[in-house]
Amino acid sequence: MPAIPTYFQTAMPAISLPSDAPQQTTTLPIRKHEFPTPTLRLHLQDLSHDGSSIFLSNIKGSEDLEQQCQNVLNLLYDHDSIRPGTRSVTFVLRAYDGLAYTTGIDLDQDHKEIHINLDYLLKIRGDVRHELLGVICHELVHCFQWAAEGTANGGLIEGMADYVRLNAGLSAEHWKKEAGGDWDGGYQHTGYFLQHLEEKLGKGTVKKINAGLREGQYDEKKLFKSCCGGKEVGELWEEYRNDLEKKQKEDGKEEKPSGTEEAKIIPTDTPPKFEGTK
Ligand SMILES: [Zn+2]
């Protein structure tokens, strides 16, 4: 029985200021193919909680959730790709300690639950709809991505989720490209690296990496060599860092040398947790 991963997002201190601008988040026109959408359900644990009103006034259930499913599927798969058999996604809004996470139900992993913390919804500053759609998009990736039967590198899994969020036009305000640290720092740090691979090595590279996680145990060397022109991930990361540092120097924003305090990764989430591991 493969380990069942549960992926978490936790709160990031708000650094953006509240904006008076009208909410007008739209997503990019990336829906080339219409995939079958799983059954989508919404469970509000406490209607009297202010977070419930925030959710209901910002998210149009009949359109937004389905649209984010389509965005995620279009960014991860071609129309004829083999996809996980996700049959339903239930959004569970309840107050708990955290931001959001995705899990499968015990009886059947094809039924997913995305839990979103109602208290967190009260704390969002700036464009609430944009942030909320971003969180939903990120979590939906966990409902549809491959994960090498639960053995994949957690940083890659989280990076894939933020790569999709980025390409769905839903990146967060505090995100930035970072050349420091390791390639698998996760979230937007790894998401921007995947974006670089997609641009450098060709459209479909990230879809190939996702497809490479479909069967068997995680084999990093084999995965990147087969998807990225025979190169290992360390080499690709080095190239990305060099490219980024060069670009930042040209733009007059000199990057601090890697490995220093200043160059460390800004965490936006906690790493995924796998059953049976610490
Ligand atoms: Zn995640």
Instruction: Measure the CA–CA gap between 32 and 76, rounded to whole angstroms.
Output: 12
Instruction: Measure the CA–CA gap between 10 and 267, rounded to whole angstroms.
Output: 9
DSSP letter for 35, please: P
CA of 114 to the centre of ligand 1 (A): 11
CA of 268 to the centre of ligand 1 (A): 10
pLDDT number for residue 62: 84
Strand 5-9 with 100-104, pairing: antiparallel
- For residue 124, the Cα-to-chain-centroid distance in whole angstroms is 18
What 3-state class would DSSP assign to 236?
helix
CA of 132 to the centre of ligand 1 (A): 14
> Taking the model in full, what pTM does it have?
0.82
CA of 246 to the centre of ligand 1 (A): 30
CA of 254 to the centre of ligand 1 (A): 30
Residues with pLDDT less than 50, the chain = 1, 12-24, 26-27, 255-278
What is the layout of strands, in order, in the sheet containing 273-274? 39-44, 88-94, 111-117, 100-104, 5-9, 273-274
pLDDT number for residue 69: 96
Parse the chain into domains and list their residue ranges: 1-144, 152-267
pLDDT number for residue 252: 78
CA of 94 to the centre of ligand 1 (A): 18
- Counting every residue written for the chain, the total comes to 278
How much of the chain is in helix, strand and coil states, percent to nearest 5?
A: 40, 10, 50
